[in-house]
Structure formats: C-alpha cells, structure tokens
C-alpha cells in the first residue's frame, strides 16, 4: 500500500458510498415517509459513512477505526438499506474501509504517542 499523509482513496470511496446510499431515498424527500424503515436507515447509514470519511480525512492516524466502521456499515447496509444501495454502495464502503485499514502514515507524519503515554493535565 502506498504511504502518504492522508488516505485519499479511502476517503473518496467511503464518501462515494455514503452519497450513493443516500441518493435514492433523498431524490424526492417528500416520499421518504412512504419508503419506511429502509429509506430512513439508508439515510442514516449514508450520514454515518460520510462521517467516517470526514474522520479519515481529519484524523488519518486513526484510520483503522474509521475503516472498521465503514466495513461494518457496508455489511449492515445490505440487509437494512435497500440491498446496500443496490450493491454499489456496499461495495464502495467495503473497498474504502479495506483501503483505510491497509493505509499507513508516510515518513513525514507526526508520530503517535506510545501506549500509556499521553498528554498529562
């Protein structure tokens, strides 16, 4: 996996998954109450995936957390949210989560604190 300062490909895939999952339920917001639980769940999963992408971008040192969450949301979107956005949203979430888990910070990145060491107040 290419090392860099930010997991750009993972952010793009996870954002695209959120956009795809949320597009169809929000294409006509007036019909959202008629879509039922599947439409509301798709919107919530879309917001959560976009939140994962923002977390990946803002805090790249903790990419494993967002990657794991994106994979879990992608797997859960299959039964809960319109077959994972017609499978495309699910596949994008799984790909982005896998890229986030495989990403490593480059040599110019700030070092993380060692376990047990943190800022003391």
119, pLDDT greater than 70:
no
Predicted confidence band of residue 17 (pLDDT cuts 50, 70, 90): very high
Tens of pLDDT, residue by residue over 74-109, are 999 999 988 888 899 999 999 999 999 999 887 766
Per-residue pLDDT of 45-73, as tens digits, reads 999 999 999 999 999 999 999 999 999 99
Question: Which residues touch 49 (CB under 8 Å, ≥6 apart)?
Answer: 14, 15, 17, 18, 21, 70, 73, 74, 93
Q: What is the pTM of this model?
A: 0.84
Tally: H helices and E strands in the chain: 6, 0
Q: Interhelix angle for 8-26 vs 88-102, to 10°?
A: 160
Whether 45 and 73 have beta carbons less than 8 Å apart is answered as yes
The answer to whether 105 touches 5, Cβ cutoff 8 Å, is yes
């Amino acid at each position: 996996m290419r090392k860099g300062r930010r997991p750009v490909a993972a952010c793009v895939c996870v954002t695209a998954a959120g956009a795809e999952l949320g597009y169809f339920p929000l294409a006509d917001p007036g019909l959202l109450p008629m879509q039922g639980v599947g439409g509301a769940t798709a919107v919530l999963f879309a917001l959560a995936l976009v939140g994962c992408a923002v977390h990946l971008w803002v805090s790249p040192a903790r990419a494993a957390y967002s990657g794991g969450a994106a994979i879990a949301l992608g797997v859960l979107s299959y039964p809960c949210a319109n077959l994972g956005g017609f499978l495309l949203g699910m596949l994008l979430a799984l790909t982005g989560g896998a890229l986030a888990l495989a990403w490593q910070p480059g040599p110019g990145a700030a070092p993380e604190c060692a376990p047990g060491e943190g800022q003391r107040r």
